[in-house]
Chain A
Amino acid sequence: MEPNYPLHLPDFYIGDPAPAYRDLRRNSPVHWTDANGGFWGITRYEDVKFIGSRPHLFSSAKGVLMPDGKPKPAEPRPMLITTDPPRHNALRKLISKGFTPRHINAMEPDVREIVRGVLDSAKAGVELEYAEGIVAKVPVRIIADLLGAPAEDWEQFRAWSDASVGSADPGITLTSQEAFGALTTYFRRLIELREQRRANDLISILMDAEVDGESLSHDELMSFLHLLLVAGNETTRNLIALGTIALINHPEQLRMLVEDPSLIPSAVEEMLRYVSPVTHMTRWATEDVELRGRTIRKGQAVVLLYGAANRDEDVFGDTAEQFDITRRPNPHLAFGTGEHACMGLSLARLEARVFFEELLARFDRVELTGEVLRMRSTMVPGVRTMHVRLGANEKAAVR
Protein backbone atom coordinates (compact mmCIF):
# COMPACT_ATOMS: atom_id res chain seq x y z
CA MET A 1 0.00 0.00 0.00
CA GLU A 2 1.06 3.59 -0.67
CA PRO A 3 2.27 5.30 2.49
CA ASN A 4 0.08 8.21 3.53
CA TYR A 5 1.47 11.24 5.35
CA PRO A 6 0.02 14.76 5.82
CA LEU A 7 2.81 16.50 3.90
CA HIS A 8 0.59 19.57 3.51
CA LEU A 9 0.27 20.30 7.26
CA PRO A 10 2.63 22.28 9.53
CA ASP A 11 2.26 19.64 12.28
CA PHE A 12 3.97 17.10 10.07
CA TYR A 13 7.14 19.24 10.00
CA ILE A 14 6.93 20.34 13.64
CA GLY A 15 6.81 16.74 14.82
CA ASP A 16 9.62 14.38 13.85
CA PRO A 17 9.30 13.82 10.10
CA ALA A 18 12.44 11.63 9.92
CA PRO A 19 10.68 8.21 10.07
CA ALA A 20 8.19 9.29 7.39
CA TYR A 21 11.00 10.61 5.22
CA ARG A 22 12.86 7.30 5.56
CA ASP A 23 9.76 5.37 4.54
CA LEU A 24 9.11 7.66 1.58
CA ARG A 25 12.70 7.58 0.31
CA ARG A 26 12.52 3.81 0.32
CA ASN A 27 8.94 3.05 -0.70
CA SER A 28 7.56 6.06 -2.54
CA PRO A 29 10.37 8.47 -3.50
CA VAL A 30 8.13 10.29 -5.98
CA HIS A 31 5.05 10.54 -3.83
CA TRP A 32 1.61 11.91 -4.68
CA THR A 33 -0.45 13.77 -2.05
CA ASP A 34 -4.07 14.57 -2.90
CA ALA A 35 -4.54 17.48 -0.50
CA ASN A 36 -4.71 21.10 -1.69
CA GLY A 37 -5.18 20.24 -5.34
CA GLY A 38 -2.40 17.66 -5.23
CA PHE A 39 1.40 17.73 -5.40
CA TRP A 40 4.39 15.41 -5.72
CA GLY A 41 6.79 15.06 -2.76
CA ILE A 42 10.43 14.30 -3.64
CA THR A 43 12.56 12.77 -0.88
CA ARG A 44 15.74 11.34 -2.43
CA TYR A 45 18.88 13.46 -2.64
CA GLU A 46 19.62 12.56 -6.24
CA ASP A 47 16.09 13.45 -7.37
CA VAL A 48 16.03 16.78 -5.54
CA LYS A 49 19.28 17.69 -7.29
CA PHE A 50 17.98 16.49 -10.65
CA ILE A 51 14.87 18.64 -10.45
CA GLY A 52 16.58 21.67 -8.88
CA SER A 53 19.08 21.85 -11.72
CA ARG A 54 16.48 21.72 -14.54
CA PRO A 55 14.62 25.03 -14.40
CA HIS A 56 13.38 24.60 -17.98
CA LEU A 57 11.53 21.41 -17.03
CA PHE A 58 10.67 22.46 -13.48
CA SER A 59 9.77 26.12 -13.26
CA SER A 60 9.59 28.41 -10.22
CA ALA A 61 7.30 30.95 -11.86
CA LYS A 62 4.10 29.76 -10.17
CA GLY A 63 5.60 30.11 -6.71
CA VAL A 64 7.88 28.16 -4.39
CA LEU A 65 5.51 27.47 -1.49
CA MET A 66 3.70 24.15 -1.61
CA PRO A 67 0.08 24.41 -2.78
CA ASP A 68 -2.01 25.56 0.19
CA GLY A 69 -5.44 25.17 -1.36
CA LYS A 70 -5.99 28.92 -1.59
CA PRO A 71 -6.61 30.43 -5.03
CA LYS A 72 -3.49 31.92 -6.63
CA PRO A 73 -3.40 35.55 -7.78
CA ALA A 74 -3.60 35.71 -11.60
CA GLU A 75 -0.51 37.91 -11.80
CA PRO A 76 1.92 36.97 -9.04
CA ARG A 77 4.38 39.69 -8.01
CA PRO A 78 7.66 39.44 -9.90
CA MET A 79 10.32 38.10 -7.54
CA LEU A 80 13.84 36.79 -7.99
CA ILE A 81 12.88 33.52 -6.40
CA THR A 82 9.94 33.01 -8.81
CA THR A 83 11.77 34.11 -11.98
CA ASP A 84 12.92 31.51 -14.52
CA PRO A 85 15.99 31.72 -16.77
CA PRO A 86 17.26 33.62 -18.66
CA ARG A 87 16.00 36.68 -16.78
CA HIS A 88 16.66 35.05 -13.41
CA ASN A 89 20.39 34.97 -13.93
CA ALA A 90 20.56 38.62 -14.99
CA LEU A 91 18.53 39.72 -11.98
CA ARG A 92 20.51 37.61 -9.61
CA LYS A 93 23.90 38.96 -10.68
CA LEU A 94 22.72 42.44 -9.73
CA ILE A 95 22.72 41.62 -6.08
CA SER A 96 24.80 38.50 -5.80
CA LYS A 97 27.97 40.58 -6.10
CA GLY A 98 27.02 42.04 -2.72
CA PHE A 99 26.79 38.51 -1.29
CA THR A 100 30.09 36.92 -2.33
CA PRO A 101 32.11 35.38 0.49
CA ARG A 102 34.65 38.20 0.14
CA HIS A 103 32.03 40.90 0.70
CA ILE A 104 30.27 39.00 3.42
CA ASN A 105 33.45 38.20 5.34
CA ALA A 106 34.17 41.90 5.43
CA MET A 107 31.00 42.18 7.53
CA GLU A 108 32.36 39.94 10.27
CA PRO A 109 33.25 42.77 12.69
CA ASP A 110 29.73 44.23 12.35
CA VAL A 111 28.14 40.82 12.82
CA ARG A 112 30.25 40.17 15.90
CA GLU A 113 29.32 43.49 17.40
CA ILE A 114 25.62 42.85 16.85
CA VAL A 115 25.90 39.34 18.35
CA ARG A 116 27.82 40.64 21.37
CA GLY A 117 25.28 43.38 21.90
CA VAL A 118 22.48 40.82 21.91
CA LEU A 119 24.30 38.32 24.17
CA ASP A 120 25.20 41.03 26.67
CA SER A 121 21.59 40.91 27.81
CA ALA A 122 21.78 37.16 28.58
CA LYS A 123 22.53 36.26 32.22
CA ALA A 124 23.83 32.91 33.45
CA GLY A 125 21.88 30.81 35.93
CA VAL A 126 18.44 32.29 35.37
CA GLU A 127 15.62 31.15 33.13
CA LEU A 128 15.36 33.21 29.94
CA GLU A 129 13.51 33.11 26.65
CA TYR A 130 16.03 32.28 23.94
CA ALA A 131 14.32 32.23 20.50
CA GLU A 132 12.53 35.60 20.41
CA GLY A 133 14.57 37.23 23.13
CA ILE A 134 18.06 36.45 21.84
CA VAL A 135 18.39 34.51 18.58
CA ALA A 136 15.78 36.39 16.52
CA LYS A 137 17.42 39.74 17.16
CA VAL A 138 20.60 38.82 15.31
CA PRO A 139 19.45 38.16 11.72
CA VAL A 140 16.86 40.92 11.69
CA ARG A 141 19.42 43.52 12.72
CA ILE A 142 21.92 42.31 10.18
CA ILE A 143 19.44 42.30 7.27
CA ALA A 144 17.97 45.64 8.20
CA ASP A 145 21.49 47.05 8.44
CA LEU A 146 22.38 45.55 5.04
CA LEU A 147 19.28 47.12 3.49
CA GLY A 148 20.10 50.48 4.97
CA ALA A 149 17.24 50.81 7.47
CA PRO A 150 17.94 52.91 10.55
CA ALA A 151 18.48 50.99 13.81
CA GLU A 152 15.40 52.37 15.53
CA ASP A 153 13.21 50.52 13.00
CA TRP A 154 14.80 47.09 13.44
CA GLU A 155 12.32 45.66 15.94
CA GLN A 156 9.34 46.73 13.83
CA PHE A 157 10.97 44.92 10.93
CA ARG A 158 10.99 41.70 12.84
CA ALA A 159 7.30 41.85 13.63
CA TRP A 160 6.44 42.38 9.97
CA SER A 161 8.79 39.68 8.80
CA ASP A 162 7.34 37.16 11.30
CA ALA A 163 3.83 37.98 10.17
CA SER A 164 4.58 37.62 6.48
CA VAL A 165 5.92 34.06 6.74
CA GLY A 166 4.04 32.61 9.69
CA SER A 167 0.55 33.59 8.65
CA ALA A 168 -0.86 30.23 9.81
CA ASP A 169 0.41 30.94 13.32
CA PRO A 170 -2.37 31.94 15.71
CA GLY A 171 0.13 33.83 17.88
CA ILE A 172 0.60 36.39 15.13
CA THR A 173 -2.15 39.00 14.93
CA LEU A 174 -1.21 40.80 11.70
CA THR A 175 -2.23 38.96 8.53
CA SER A 176 0.53 38.41 6.00
CA GLN A 177 -1.31 40.80 3.68
CA GLU A 178 -1.22 43.55 6.30
CA ALA A 179 2.43 42.92 7.07
CA PHE A 180 3.26 43.08 3.38
CA GLY A 181 1.44 46.41 3.11
CA ALA A 182 3.27 47.85 6.09
CA LEU A 183 6.62 46.78 4.68
CA THR A 184 5.78 48.20 1.28
CA THR A 185 4.98 51.60 2.75
CA TYR A 186 8.16 51.53 4.75
CA PHE A 187 10.34 50.55 1.80
CA ARG A 188 8.75 53.28 -0.30
CA ARG A 189 9.91 55.79 2.29
CA LEU A 190 13.45 54.39 2.26
CA ILE A 191 13.51 54.59 -1.55
CA GLU A 192 12.36 58.22 -1.48
CA LEU A 193 15.22 59.01 0.89
CA ARG A 194 17.70 57.30 -1.43
CA GLU A 195 16.30 59.16 -4.42
CA GLN A 196 17.59 62.32 -2.82
CA ARG A 197 20.89 60.82 -1.78
CA ARG A 198 22.40 57.40 -2.46
CA ALA A 199 24.20 55.62 0.38
CA ASN A 200 26.47 52.61 0.70
CA ASP A 201 23.65 50.08 1.05
CA LEU A 202 21.78 47.48 -0.94
CA ILE A 203 18.83 49.73 -1.78
CA SER A 204 21.16 52.17 -3.50
CA ILE A 205 22.87 49.37 -5.46
CA LEU A 206 19.49 48.10 -6.64
CA MET A 207 18.28 51.55 -7.67
CA ASP A 208 21.32 51.99 -9.91
CA ALA A 209 21.11 48.47 -11.32
CA GLU A 210 20.14 47.75 -14.93
CA VAL A 211 19.06 44.54 -16.67
CA ASP A 212 19.44 44.71 -20.47
CA GLY A 213 19.83 48.47 -20.23
CA GLU A 214 16.65 48.97 -18.19
CA SER A 215 16.45 49.75 -14.52
CA LEU A 216 14.32 47.59 -12.28
CA SER A 217 10.63 48.39 -12.17
CA HIS A 218 9.30 49.77 -8.93
CA ASP A 219 7.55 46.44 -8.29
CA GLU A 220 10.74 44.49 -8.87
CA LEU A 221 12.66 46.72 -6.51
CA MET A 222 9.99 46.33 -3.84
CA SER A 223 9.83 42.60 -4.10
CA PHE A 224 13.62 42.32 -3.94
CA LEU A 225 13.64 44.18 -0.64
CA HIS A 226 10.75 42.16 0.67
CA LEU A 227 12.38 38.88 -0.37
CA LEU A 228 15.69 39.68 1.30
CA LEU A 229 14.05 40.54 4.56
CA VAL A 230 11.84 37.49 4.67
CA ALA A 231 14.41 35.06 3.22
CA GLY A 232 17.18 36.01 5.60
CA ASN A 233 15.35 36.20 8.85
CA GLU A 234 13.24 33.27 9.96
CA THR A 235 15.63 30.90 8.21
CA THR A 236 18.70 31.93 10.18
CA ARG A 237 16.76 32.14 13.42
CA ASN A 238 15.45 28.64 12.83
CA LEU A 239 18.94 27.29 12.14
CA ILE A 240 20.40 28.74 15.34
CA ALA A 241 17.45 27.86 17.59
CA LEU A 242 16.99 24.29 16.34
CA GLY A 243 20.78 23.90 16.13
CA THR A 244 20.97 24.79 19.82
CA ILE A 245 18.32 22.18 20.59
CA ALA A 246 20.36 19.59 18.67
CA LEU A 247 23.35 20.43 20.89
CA ILE A 248 21.19 20.18 24.03
CA ASN A 249 20.05 16.73 22.90
CA HIS A 250 23.65 15.66 22.21
CA PRO A 251 25.56 16.81 25.30
CA GLU A 252 28.74 14.99 24.30
CA GLN A 253 28.89 17.02 21.09
CA LEU A 254 28.24 20.26 22.93
CA ARG A 255 31.17 19.38 25.21
CA MET A 256 33.38 18.71 22.20
CA LEU A 257 32.45 22.05 20.69
CA VAL A 258 33.14 23.98 23.89
CA GLU A 259 36.54 22.32 24.16
CA ASP A 260 37.44 22.87 20.52
CA PRO A 261 35.72 25.93 18.99
CA SER A 262 37.56 25.34 15.71
CA LEU A 263 34.84 22.72 15.10
CA ILE A 264 32.16 25.42 14.96
CA PRO A 265 32.12 25.84 11.14
CA SER A 266 31.67 22.09 10.63
CA ALA A 267 29.06 22.01 13.44
CA VAL A 268 27.13 24.73 11.59
CA GLU A 269 27.14 22.61 8.41
CA GLU A 270 25.83 19.65 10.38
CA MET A 271 23.11 21.81 11.93
CA LEU A 272 22.13 22.91 8.43
CA ARG A 273 21.88 19.30 7.31
CA TYR A 274 20.23 17.89 10.43
CA VAL A 275 17.79 20.75 11.00
CA SER A 276 17.14 21.72 7.35
CA PRO A 277 15.64 25.08 8.41
CA VAL A 278 13.77 25.46 5.11
CA THR A 279 11.76 22.26 4.71
CA HIS A 280 10.98 22.59 1.01
CA MET A 281 10.74 24.64 -2.15
CA THR A 282 8.31 23.91 -4.95
CA ARG A 283 8.67 23.63 -8.75
CA TRP A 284 6.04 23.24 -11.49
CA ALA A 285 6.49 20.77 -14.37
CA THR A 286 6.51 22.47 -17.77
CA GLU A 287 5.89 19.15 -19.57
CA ASP A 288 5.17 15.53 -18.69
CA VAL A 289 8.23 13.99 -17.00
CA GLU A 290 8.88 10.34 -16.06
CA LEU A 291 10.67 9.89 -12.74
CA ARG A 292 11.17 6.53 -10.98
CA GLY A 293 8.26 5.02 -12.82
CA ARG A 294 5.80 7.80 -12.03
CA THR A 295 4.53 10.37 -14.52
CA ILE A 296 4.66 13.97 -13.37
CA ARG A 297 2.12 15.79 -15.54
CA LYS A 298 2.64 19.18 -17.11
CA GLY A 299 1.45 21.86 -14.67
CA GLN A 300 1.71 19.72 -11.53
CA ALA A 301 3.50 20.92 -8.41
CA VAL A 302 6.68 19.16 -7.29
CA VAL A 303 7.79 19.71 -3.70
CA LEU A 304 11.51 19.26 -2.99
CA LEU A 305 11.79 18.02 0.61
CA TYR A 306 15.30 19.11 1.61
CA GLY A 307 15.05 17.60 5.10
CA ALA A 308 14.42 14.19 3.55
CA ALA A 309 17.22 14.52 0.98
CA ASN A 310 19.59 15.57 3.76
CA ARG A 311 19.08 12.23 5.55
CA ASP A 312 19.51 10.11 2.43
CA GLU A 313 21.57 7.04 3.33
CA ASP A 314 22.81 6.76 -0.27
CA VAL A 315 24.77 9.99 0.30
CA PHE A 316 25.32 10.24 4.06
CA GLY A 317 25.77 6.53 4.73
CA ASP A 318 24.52 4.61 7.73
CA THR A 319 25.09 7.62 10.01
CA ALA A 320 22.65 9.70 7.94
CA GLU A 321 20.16 9.96 10.80
CA GLN A 322 22.77 10.88 13.40
CA PHE A 323 23.91 14.34 14.45
CA ASP A 324 27.70 14.46 14.04
CA ILE A 325 29.43 17.84 14.20
CA THR A 326 32.60 16.39 12.70
CA ARG A 327 30.89 15.06 9.56
CA ARG A 328 32.98 15.56 6.44
CA PRO A 329 32.25 15.75 3.58
CA ASN A 330 28.80 17.21 4.18
CA PRO A 331 27.23 18.05 0.82
CA HIS A 332 23.79 18.88 2.29
CA LEU A 333 21.09 20.67 0.31
CA ALA A 334 19.84 22.92 3.11
CA PHE A 335 20.46 25.96 0.90
CA GLY A 336 18.73 24.36 -2.08
CA THR A 337 20.36 23.40 -5.34
CA GLY A 338 20.65 24.78 -8.87
CA GLU A 339 20.52 28.39 -9.97
CA HIS A 340 18.10 29.46 -7.25
CA ALA A 341 20.33 28.11 -4.48
CA CYS A 342 20.38 30.46 -1.52
CA MET A 343 22.04 33.73 -2.26
CA GLY A 344 22.51 34.52 1.40
CA LEU A 345 24.34 31.33 2.28
CA SER A 346 27.65 32.99 3.13
CA LEU A 347 25.87 35.47 5.35
CA ALA A 348 23.85 32.75 7.09
CA ARG A 349 27.03 30.74 7.72
CA LEU A 350 28.83 33.78 9.08
CA GLU A 351 25.96 34.68 11.41
CA ALA A 352 25.66 31.16 12.79
CA ARG A 353 29.41 30.74 13.23
CA VAL A 354 29.87 34.04 15.06
CA PHE A 355 26.76 33.40 17.16
CA PHE A 356 28.03 30.03 18.44
CA GLU A 357 31.57 31.35 18.92
CA GLU A 358 30.31 34.15 21.13
CA LEU A 359 27.67 32.05 22.89
CA LEU A 360 30.02 29.21 23.85
CA ALA A 361 32.78 31.57 24.93
CA ARG A 362 30.37 32.87 27.56
CA PHE A 363 28.26 29.83 28.38
CA ASP A 364 29.34 26.20 28.23
CA ARG A 365 26.04 24.67 29.38
CA VAL A 366 22.55 25.11 27.98
CA GLU A 367 19.45 23.39 29.33
CA LEU A 368 15.82 23.59 28.37
CA THR A 369 13.58 24.64 31.24
CA GLY A 370 10.20 24.36 29.52
CA GLU A 371 8.29 23.56 26.41
CA VAL A 372 9.49 24.54 22.93
CA LEU A 373 6.79 26.40 20.99
CA ARG A 374 7.02 26.16 17.21
CA MET A 375 5.85 28.34 14.33
CA ARG A 376 2.93 26.76 12.48
CA SER A 377 4.46 26.96 9.02
CA THR A 378 5.10 24.24 6.45
CA MET A 379 8.14 25.96 4.96
CA VAL A 380 10.03 27.43 7.92
CA PRO A 381 8.54 25.80 11.03
CA GLY A 382 10.90 27.64 13.34
CA VAL A 383 11.00 28.06 17.09
CA ARG A 384 8.64 30.69 18.41
CA THR A 385 9.74 30.53 22.02
CA MET A 386 11.98 28.29 24.11
CA HIS A 387 13.07 28.87 27.70
CA VAL A 388 16.59 27.91 28.69
CA ARG A 389 19.08 28.28 31.51
CA LEU A 390 22.67 29.03 30.53
CA GLY A 391 25.71 28.05 32.61
CA ALA A 392 28.68 30.43 32.64
CA ASN A 393 31.84 29.22 30.97
CA GLU A 394 34.26 29.65 33.90
CA LYS A 395 37.26 28.50 31.91
CA ALA A 396 36.92 31.06 29.17
CA ALA A 397 38.99 34.18 29.53
CA VAL A 398 36.93 37.05 30.86
CA ARG A 399 36.55 39.57 28.09
Chain B
Amino acid sequence: MRIVLDRAKCTGIGICESLAPTVFEVDDRGELVVLAAEVPEGALDEVTEAVEGCPAMALRLEP
Protein backbone atom coordinates (compact mmCIF):
# COMPACT_ATOMS: atom_id res chain seq x y z
CA MET B 1 0.00 0.00 0.00
CA ARG B 2 1.23 3.44 -0.97
CA ILE B 3 0.84 6.42 1.35
CA VAL B 4 -0.38 9.50 -0.54
CA LEU B 5 -0.17 12.97 0.98
CA ASP B 6 -2.11 15.96 -0.39
CA ARG B 7 0.15 18.86 0.56
CA ALA B 8 -2.47 21.43 -0.33
CA LYS B 9 -4.68 20.06 2.44
CA CYS B 10 -2.08 19.15 5.07
CA THR B 11 -1.82 21.72 7.87
CA GLY B 12 1.06 20.07 9.70
CA ILE B 13 -0.85 19.46 12.91
CA GLY B 14 0.84 16.08 13.42
CA ILE B 15 -2.00 13.84 14.53
CA CYS B 16 -0.59 11.25 12.12
CA GLU B 17 2.79 11.50 13.83
CA SER B 18 1.26 10.74 17.20
CA LEU B 19 -0.53 7.67 15.80
CA ALA B 20 2.24 6.34 13.55
CA PRO B 21 5.55 7.94 14.57
CA THR B 22 7.66 5.60 12.48
CA VAL B 23 6.02 6.83 9.28
CA PHE B 24 5.13 10.50 9.82
CA GLU B 25 7.12 13.41 11.17
CA VAL B 26 6.39 17.14 11.20
CA ASP B 27 9.68 18.98 10.73
CA ASP B 28 10.77 22.26 12.30
CA ARG B 29 9.22 24.30 9.51
CA GLY B 30 5.85 22.70 10.10
CA GLU B 31 6.03 20.51 6.96
CA LEU B 32 4.95 16.90 7.17
CA VAL B 33 7.62 14.42 6.11
CA VAL B 34 6.40 10.97 5.10
CA LEU B 35 9.25 8.68 6.05
CA ALA B 36 8.11 5.68 4.00
CA ALA B 37 6.48 5.69 0.58
CA GLU B 38 4.96 2.27 1.23
CA VAL B 39 3.29 1.13 4.46
CA PRO B 40 6.03 -0.73 6.35
CA GLU B 41 5.47 -4.33 7.37
CA GLY B 42 3.36 -4.63 10.51
CA ALA B 43 2.41 -0.94 10.53
CA LEU B 44 -0.83 -1.14 8.55
CA ASP B 45 -3.09 -0.71 11.57
CA GLU B 46 -1.43 2.40 12.89
CA VAL B 47 -1.04 3.94 9.44
CA THR B 48 -4.71 3.27 8.68
CA GLU B 49 -5.63 4.93 11.95
CA ALA B 50 -3.46 7.91 11.05
CA VAL B 51 -5.06 8.18 7.60
CA GLU B 52 -8.57 8.03 9.07
CA GLY B 53 -7.64 10.31 11.95
CA CYS B 54 -6.33 13.14 9.78
CA PRO B 55 -8.69 16.03 10.51
CA ALA B 56 -7.75 17.73 7.24
CA MET B 57 -8.36 14.56 5.19
CA ALA B 58 -4.94 15.04 3.60
CA LEU B 59 -3.83 11.37 3.69
CA ARG B 60 -4.86 8.44 1.53
CA LEU B 61 -3.82 4.84 1.02
CA GLU B 62 -3.56 3.45 -2.50
CA PRO B 63 -3.01 -0.13 -3.56
A and B part of one assembly: yes
Please give the residue numbers on chain B whose beta carbons come within 8 Å of chain A beta carbons, in ascending order.
Answer: 8-15, 17-18, 26, 28-31, 52, 55-57
**Distance A341 CA – B11 CA, assembled complex (angstroms):** 10
Please give the residue numbers on chain A whose beta carbons come within 8 Å of chain B beta carbons, in ascending order.
Answer: 53, 85-86, 89, 92-94, 96-97, 99-102, 105, 331, 335-339, 341-343, 345-346
Can you identify 21 A-B contacts, CB atoms within 8 angstroms?
A: A53-B57, A86-B8, A93-B11, A94-B30, A96-B11, A96-B13, A97-B12, A97-B26, A97-B30, A100-B12, A100-B13, A100-B17, A101-B15, A101-B17, A338-B55, A338-B56, A338-B57, A339-B9, A339-B56, A345-B55, A346-B14
Q: Known pairs A99-B13, A102-B14, A345-B13; list 7 more (Cβ under 8 Å).
A: A93-B11, A93-B30, A97-B26, A100-B13, A338-B57, A339-B56, A341-B55
Q: Are A102 and B13 in contact (CB under 8 A)?
A: no
Q: Are B18 and A335 in contact (CB under 8 A)?
A: no
Give chain A nearest CB distance to B58 CB in angstroms.
8
Give chain B nearest CB distance to A97 CB in angstroms.
4
Nearest opposing residue in chain A for B19, CB measure:
A101
Q: Are B14 and A101 in contact (CB under 8 A)?
A: yes
- Give chain B residues whose Cβ lies under 8 Å from the Cβ of A331: 52
Q: Which of the residues B8, B14, B28 comes within 8 Å of A85, measured between beta carbons?
A: B8
**Distance A345 CA – B11 CA, assembled complex (angstroms):** 13
Q: Are A102 and B55 in contact (CB under 8 A)?
A: no
**Distance A226 CA – B15 CA, assembled complex (angstroms):** 24
**Distance A167 CA – B16 CA, assembled complex (angstroms):** 37
Q: Are B52 and A102 in contact (CB under 8 A)?
A: no
- Give chain B residues whose Cβ lies under 8 Å from the Cβ of A53: 57
- Give chain A residues whose Cβ lies under 8 Å from the Cβ of B15: 101, 345-346
Q: Are B18 and A346 in contact (CB under 8 A)?
A: yes
**Distance A97 CA – B31 CA, assembled complex (angstroms):** 8
- Give chain A residues whose Cβ lies under 8 Å from the Cβ of B56: 338-339, 341
Q: Are B8 and A89 in contact (CB under 8 A)?
A: yes
Task: Indicate the member of A94, A338, A339, A346 with the most B CB atoms within 10 Å.
Answer: A339
- Give chain B residues whose Cβ lies under 8 Å from the Cβ of A89: 8-11
Q: Are B18 and A101 in contact (CB under 8 A)?
A: yes
- Give chain A residues whose Cβ lies under 8 Å from the Cβ of B11: 89, 92-93, 96, 339, 343
- Give chain A residues whose Cβ lies under 8 Å from the Cβ of B14: 96, 99-102, 346
Give chain B nearest CB distance to A137 CB in angstroms.
27
Task: Indicate the member of B15, B28, B55 with the most A CB atoms within 10 Å.
Answer: B55
Task: Indicate the member of A53, A85, A92, A97 with the most B CB atoms within 10 Å.
Answer: A97
Nearest opposing residue in chain B for A53, CB measure:
B57
- Give chain B residues whose Cβ lies under 8 Å from the Cβ of A99: 13-14
Nearest opposing residue in chain A for B29, CB measure:
A97
Nearest opposing residue in chain A for B49, CB measure:
A329
Nearest opposing residue in chain A for B7, CB measure:
A89
Nearest opposing residue in chain A for B53, CB measure:
A331
Give chain B nearest CB distance to A334 CB in angstroms.
11
- Give chain A residues whose Cβ lies under 8 Å from the Cβ of B18: 100-102, 105, 346
Nearest opposing residue in chain A for B15, CB measure:
A101
**Distance A232 CA – B42 CA, assembled complex (angstroms):** 37
User: Nearest 10 CB-CB pairs, A to B?
Assistant: A100-B14, A341-B55, A101-B18, A97-B30, A93-B30, A92-B11, A96-B12, A100-B26, A339-B56, A93-B12
**Distance A335 CA – B53 CA, assembled complex (angstroms):** 12
Nearest opposing residue in chain B for A342, CB measure:
B55
**Distance A102 CA – B31 CA, assembled complex (angstroms):** 14
- Give chain A residues whose Cβ lies under 8 Å from the Cβ of B10: 89
Nearest opposing residue in chain A for B31, CB measure:
A93
